[in-house]
Amino acid sequence: MFDDFTDERIDVGEVELRVRHAGQGPPVLLVHGHPRTGATWHRVAPRLVARGFTVVCPDMRGYGQSGKARILPDHSQQSKRAVAADLVQLMKALGHATFAVAGHDRGCYVALRLALDHPESVSRLVVMDGVPISEALARCDAKFAHDWYHWFFFAQPEKPERAIMADPDAWYSARPESMGAENYAELRAAIHDPETVRAMLEDYRAGLGVDREHEEADRQAGRGVRCPTLLLWSTRDDMEDLYGDPLAVWRPWASDLRGEPIESGHHQAEENPEDLTEALHRFLSA
């Protein structure tokens, strides 16, 4: 996994980030989701390197082997704004003043925040299997509350940690045969670490509070994504069930928007790396 990639830890200010990177050419930052680590990209990253890109795969703050920030009363230490600021510093430390970013699941919220807060740094944006948090909450109905109950359960104090840590493998129910053995081992190490589990839950607590507030402030101020944007959604996930046409949800946020489905379950990078790599290559090379 990640043969010929550099694997190191880089101080970005408040925390150190574990990061794997390799390649020569235009830089692409790949941001994982919950509860994954940067290892989720292990089948995509080498393919992009082979196609001429520099690829950077960090563990977000709080996740995997990256540092955990001191928890604040409003959970802003795990806000997408804080995570995005980390990643800008990381890319600068690696010599990339501008870069493309692709984010999946919770990582897509971070990728969006990167494009909104640091438009001078982000050349292209890819968002995968998600809509802005404020848009999801504005559309929240009984179906969303039933199917995505974890958003609201994870926001509660203490009880989610106790439930998950009682049997982390049962809670997350991942399978090594679909993920790859080393990727699965990293996931298990993360979900069996109480500090990592708490930090990952703080991601959701920030989501319902400060992250939503930041997005709503952007819309009120008329701020949107300036760079070309690609939305990729999984055919066997629930994006279309929840939102109809997911592109319609994103259009107010990005003036230069395109999108397509990927034949996959939720974890595109693990389940269909070939088609995902092809879609990323077409967009990033255009």
Taking the C-alpha atoms of residue 261 and residue 259, their distance in angstroms, rounded to an integer, is 7
Which candidate in 117, 118, 238, 266 is catalytic? 266
Is 214 one of the annotated active-site residues of the chain?
Answer: no
- The answer as to whether 118 is a domain residue is yes
The total number of structural domains in the chain stands at: 1
Residue 136 DSSP SS3: helix
Give the residue among 115, 125, 96, 83 at the shortest CA–CA distance from 210: 83
pLDDT recorded at residue 162: 98
Residue of 21, 59, 104, 105 marked active site: 105
3-class DSSP state for residue 211?
A: helix
Half-sphere exposure of 16 (CA within 13 A, CB side): 7
156-189 pLDDT, tens digit each: 999 999 999 999 999 999 889 899 999 999 999 9
Cα→Cα distances 196→1, 118, 177, 239, Å: 22, 27, 24, 27
- 105 a catalytic residue: yes
In a domain, 1, yes or no: no
CA angle 139, 144, 146 (to 5 degrees): 155
Query: What's the CATH code of the domain at 10?
Result: 3.40.50.1820
Q: What pLDDT sits at residue 286?
A: 85
Euclidean distance between CA atoms 180 and 50, whole angstroms = 20
What is the tens place of the pLDDT at every residue in 187-233? 999 999 999 999 999 999 999 999 999 999 999 999 999 999 999 99
User: Which strands make up the sheet holding 99-104, listed edge to edge?
Assistant: 6-11, 16-22, 54-58, 27-31, 99-104, 122-128, 229-234, 257-262
Q: Which domain holds residue 23?
A: 6-285
Residues of the chain under the 70 pLDDT cut: none
Let me know the angle formed at the C-alpha of 241 by 231 and 148, rounded to the nearest 5 degrees: 90
pTM, rounded to two decimals: 0.97
